[in-house]
Chain A
Amino acid sequence: MIRRNFSPLVLAVSIGLAIALLGAIFAIIWSSLPQGETQLMPTPILTVIPAPTATLTPSVSPISLTPSATSTLMVGGTGNEIQVGVYVQITGTGGDGLRLRAGPGTENEPIFLGREAEVFLVKDGPKEGSGYTWFFLEAPYDTTRSGWAVANYLQVIASNEP
């Protein structure tokens, strides 16, 4: 009689205890994890070399990007028309990138997403479609990375590129 009255309570208490115990075990594991990692992988020495200093660090050799004396050198000034043969970069997408499509119009399938600041060679255009002006772009190092893009998010970069 008494046992029957107590068993739900006992059950509830034991479940509660089990949950609390599990929680405690997890808490211990969580708190010990970062420390274990720290010992295995010490935080690396982080150095940021600021840009304004005129001297180039000799230990670091430039790879695929040509360093320029001033950052504005590569970006073309005003009056640079987008036309076949020039290099353009995707700009003003706020990091979202720009869809390159199978044809000059928004009804055409997007092929891939061009990235903000990505550089392309203009191969065709301009063509009108869906109320926009379109250019056919091709990546300099990968001709399969090509498609039609709206001119609104393209900016001409200096013609000696790359």
Chain B
Amino acid sequence: MVAPIFPKSITADKNARVLTVIWNDEHNSQYPFGLLRAACPCAECRGGHENMRSEPDPDVFSVRMAESPATKIRNVEAVGSYALTIEWEDGHHFGIYNWRYLRLLCPCPICREK
């Protein structure tokens, strides 16, 4: 069994518009808010349940989002101990980012090489 991966700390910096996650393996992930919105895993954003996958859509990394209420985080909350949910300034709040999904979404060069 693979050791479970989970965040030790999550910091949403509304000023820098970056969400920083420090993982239990010490990896440091920095997610621009726009990437998190582009990768919103909810049914509405993924175009219905038939398109829902447990992995991020590869093209989210080439999506560039403008600064707008849709890419501004209002609040971040933990969902139990397995996921994160983000409430956006435009009222959208249905996406549940589980730790695995969030880690696969890490935009750092090391993770993107894999």
Contacts and interface: CB of A to CB of B under 8 A. Distances in A.
Co-assembled chains A and B: yes
Interface of A: 34, 37-38, 40-51, 53, 55-57, 59-65, 67-68, 71, 74-75, 89, 91, 95-97, 112-113, 115-119, 139-142, 145, 157, 161-162
Contact of A95 (B10, B15, B44): B44
B71 to A, nearest CB: 5
B64 A48 contact: no
Contacts, number: 148
B17 A50 contact: no
Given A71-B72, A118-B64, A42 B81 contact: yes
Contact of B65 (A42, A53, A119): A119
Interface residues of B, number: 49
Interface string B25-69: 000001011110110000011010000000000010011111110
B14 A49 contact: yes
A46 B13 CA distance: 11
Contact of A141 (B20, B45, B64, B75): B64
A53 B45 CA distance: 31
Contacts of B70: 95, 116-117
Instruction: Pick the 6 closest A-B CB pairs, nearest first.
Output: A142-B62, A51-B14, A89-B66, A41-B6, A117-B70, A44-B7
Given A49-B11, A49-B14, 9 more contacts: A42-B81, A44-B10, A51-B72, A57-B15, A60-B11, A112-B59, A117-B37, A118-B38, A145-B62
